[in-house]
Amino acid sequence: MNSSTTRSRASITSVTISGCDAPTISTVKFQSVIFDFDGILVDTEWAIYQAWKRTFEAHGQHLPLDVYTRCIGSDFATWSPKTHLEELTGRAFDWHDLDTRRQHEIEAELTHEGPMHGAIELLEFLQREQIPTAVASSSSHRWVDGWLDRLDLAKNFHAVVCRGDAPRIKPAPDLFLEAAKQLNTAPEHCLVIEDSMNGLKAAKAAGMPTWVIPNRVTECLDFSIADRNFRSLAECIDVLRVR
């Protein structure tokens, strides 16, 4: 599947979200689902954080999880661990060498990483119900497409929207709005599944109902503005009801 796939509006199944936490909304209908990538479809966030933590420790500094989460789902324009380390140490670093070493560590740790628990089951469920799906990620196409191809997940998505496909990344709504456009679905009828505060803010700014599934990196955050919180993608299937 890709963005060239066309569907008539009448052919798209309508699904109801049951039991949302929002007090004024009992059910929310949606016609498409937009997934974040890192930390939602593949557990990449922990390995990336651990690599950054080791970089800080190598220079006698600590990188608390609640500090690092400022950049999750966005980029270093929001908050930069590089700038933070230089401020803590009072020195500049050769980031080319440090970045190369850190990337090698991340790739080595993620060599055998598979899809998140429930990812394949949820994607298959949505495919059976003819619900179009997309990925909207602040990461690069090289990173996201590489993972989707490696795990044979690319076939499950009608669109993949990444950094560079829209003017701004998360927490701005642009990536989600571009995904909705490629899915030919109004923003209010797109369900977003996220794991980060920057992603949640972006989805809400786009006017989209949002479910959050915190992971080991983001579970310390307050996601109370989400429409619903889950522990895994597998749990999402249980609250979907086809009309």
Q: Is the four-CA dihedral 169, 173, 179, 182 of positive or negative sign?
A: negative
The encoded tokens of residue 146 equal 């590489």
**Given 21, 36, 43, 174, the catalytic residue:** 36
CA pair distance 77, 81, nearest whole angstrom? 10
Q: Following DSSP, what letter does each residue of 50-66 receive, concatenated?
A: HHHHHHHHTTT----HH
- Return the closest-CA partner of residue 240 out of 131, 153, 156: 131
Pair 225, 194: CB distance under 8 Å: no
**Given 38, 43, 195, 227, the catalytic residue:** 38
Q: Which residue has the tokens 């190369």?
A: 100
Length of the chain: 243
What amino acid occupies position 174? D
Please confirm, yes or no, whether 36 is among the known catalytic residues: yes
The one-character DSSP state at 211 is E
What amino acid occupies position 214? P
Pair 220, 66: CB distance under 8 Å: yes
Please confirm, yes or no, whether 66 is among the known catalytic residues: no
Residues labelled catalytic: 36, 38
